[in-house]
Structure 1
């Protein structure tokens, strides 16, 4: 049976974060607030938990979840190569609404799905999310909704869709941005290619180009 904790109340905030960390540690799923929309999360290194996350959303391996991290320094233990433009983007927009796609170290003991050697990584700007990530470590986190449904803006929204597939719900009120993160693919940068905007979102194209002037929108790349 699922349990919801109100993290706006000091009396239940720490209880909720501890309960969520314990749940993730034993391979269960949690719903957590972020600065964009609510996410459904699992320990990124627990293969069974990640598989249950995809199942709860009604997704297959072809749509692997992003990974949330508690610090940009965590990237050094996950990423194979970190192009200069990627570091510039991280320094400018983390913590915040930017997800970057990078090549991950091949020896990592995880299975996020059909990633083909890449991973989408983000550091969220939300105190509850960051505190949970500090306790758990990197978490596979996707938007807390069933596939094809609107993104959850509260934990209650998420529970209405995900129900008892999630062990712990952390409620922190309505998401401030109410829009998904921007996704930029930097995997081609190591070989001289430009960063590629895969999905517009919380960080605008104009903001991105102030840091990465050669960034290309995906529709331009296909033209």
Structure 2
């Protein structure tokens, strides 16, 4: 299969929408990472997403829609969900909500669950594509399952060229880590840290978040124990490099080969995370290892540490 490279203009959007309408797959930028989009109502298109990524089918997908009104066609919103949507959408927040009986989504999207993970992205090109397509897009990260997430079009091409119809190139993603996922079955529960800090969610809700998620039976994406992994093994909380390691710093780290943020800025570090993982993997080579300096576990640091912990986990 030839993978087309589409420009972020009217012609590119029209071509991307036509491919999606025909059941094809298009990678597109969001503010978090590039997503691999397919018609969320089509069993065939959604099955192709799983096949292209090599993704296990028990792992549900996120549905992307252009606005709250569209989201309400597929999910049931209570007062808490409406508050969070009004506060944080469009943006990097995914809500796991009860699936409407008349949603019309492929059951492959929800992995047969009675809930659906849904969000309204903020990236202008993603929003333009959703409008041009005129329907919901299932869109996990546009990379082989378990590998480093893509924040640039060339990352998508490196992993999926020849397996999908097109890549809509919108340049680098600004946030750099996937959306925060919040479950709203019972007390609001953090299922995956991400692009919105849990402190901001707790401030909006006026209560602390519970924690949830099961790596063996995911209720939302990004819960598998091993995920986001480069080829080289990873050591965390390293204050210096050992023999054979490529050391990635955070803040002032003399001798670090790479850094997530030289000034210790968590927003910059999140935006750089996956690109830095790829660069470190290249520097490490086939027999090397990667060591990451400690990152504060506050704000976006929770999302960074979540991704690094999964990247460092034993491979299945």
TM over 0.5, shorter chain: yes
Question: 2:115 aligns to what?
Answer: 118
Question: Which of 140, 143, 146 pairs up with 1:142?
Answer: 140
Distance in structure 2 (CA, Å) of the matches to 1:204 and 1:167 = 34
SS state of the match for residue 59, structure 1? coil
Question: 2:65 aligns to what?
Answer: 69
- Superposition TM-score, scaled by structure 1 size: 0.90
Question: 1:152 aligns to what?
Answer: 150
| Aligned Cα root-mean-square deviation (Å) | 1.4
SS state of the match for residue 128, structure 1? helix
1:133 paired with 2:134, answer no
Distance in structure 1 (CA, Å) of the matches to 2:174 and 2:96 = 24
CA contact (8 A) 1:61 1:113 kept: no
User: Highest relative contact order (Cα 8 Å, sep 6+), 1 or 2?
Assistant: 1
Task: Please identify which structure carries the higher helix content.
Answer: 1
Task: Give the total of aligned pairs.
Answer: 209
1:187 paired with 2:185, answer yes
1:82 paired with 2:77, answer yes
Deviation per CA, 1:50-100: give whole Å up to 9, x if none: 000011111122012110001111122112x31111111101100001000
Distance in structure 1 (CA, Å) of the matches to 2:85 and 2:170 = 25
Question: Which of 24, 42, 49 pairs up with 2:45?
Answer: 49
Shift, 1:214, TM fit: 2.7
Displacement over 4 Å in runs of 4+: none
Deviation per CA, 1:18-56: give whole Å up to 9, x if none: 111000000000000001000000011111000000111
1:202 paired with 2:203, answer no
- Superposition TM-score, scaled by structure 2 size: 0.64
Shift, 1:113, TM fit: 4.6
Deviation per CA, 1:139-163: give whole Å up to 9, x if none: 0010111111111011110111011
Structure 2, unmatched stretches of 5+, are 214-316
Structure 1, unmatched stretches of 5+, are 8-12, 189-193
Question: 2:283 aligns to what?
Answer: none
